[in-house]
Amino acid sequence: GAGVSQTPSNKVTEKGKYVELRCDPISGHTALYWYRQSLGQGPEFLIYFQGTGAADDSGLPNDRFFAVRPEGSVSTLKIQRTERGDSAVYLCASSLMSLAGGGEQFFGPGTRLTVL
């Protein structure tokens, strides 16, 4: 079956611009996660959705970052006034159940964001 998809695969933008990154989770997965992976590091948690609501947004670095999941399926990560330090690979994952039940997360291929 289809896995987690993310678009675009690459995004180059200029400092100060606004970007949107899209994630399409595996059908039927209620939990959706965003992570950020900088070069040479492991993924870092940003935000977790259970259904339509953000259950944990403790990883968002500042108020320039925002994410939505209005219908409980597709999610969009929005970054305002981008900075060069935002350059990273943004990973999306989904799971059939929350990790409270021990379900593993399935990751998409990521969006590589480059801020010039």
Q: Give residues in contact with another protein (CB under 8 A).
A: 3-4, 31, 33, 35, 40-45, 48, 50, 55-56, 58-59, 91, 93, 98-100, 102, 104-110
Half-sphere exposure of 113 (CA within 13 A, CB side): 29
Strand duo 19-24 + 75-79: pairing: antiparallel
How far apart CA 65 and CA 62 sit, in angstroms, is: 6
Q: Provide the 3-class DSSP secondary structure of residue 99.
A: helix
User: What is the closest distance, in whole angstroms, from the C-beta atom of residue 19 to another protein in the complex?
Assistant: 20
Q: Which two tokens stand for residue 112?
A: 């590589």
Nearest distance in Å: CB 15, another protein: 26
Residue 84 Cβ vs another protein, minimum distance, rounded to whole Å: 22
Q: Which is nearer to another protein, 49 or 79 (CB)?
A: 49
| Nearest to another protein of 11, 43 (CB atom) | 43
Q: How far is the CB of 91 from another protein (least distance, A)?
A: 7
Residue closer to another protein, measured from CB, 14 or 39:
39
What span, in angstroms and rounded, lies between the C-alpha atoms of 89 and 91? 6
Q: Measured from the CB atom, is 55 or 116 closer to another protein?
A: 55
Give the span between the Cα atoms of 46 and 63, in whole angstroms.
Answer: 12
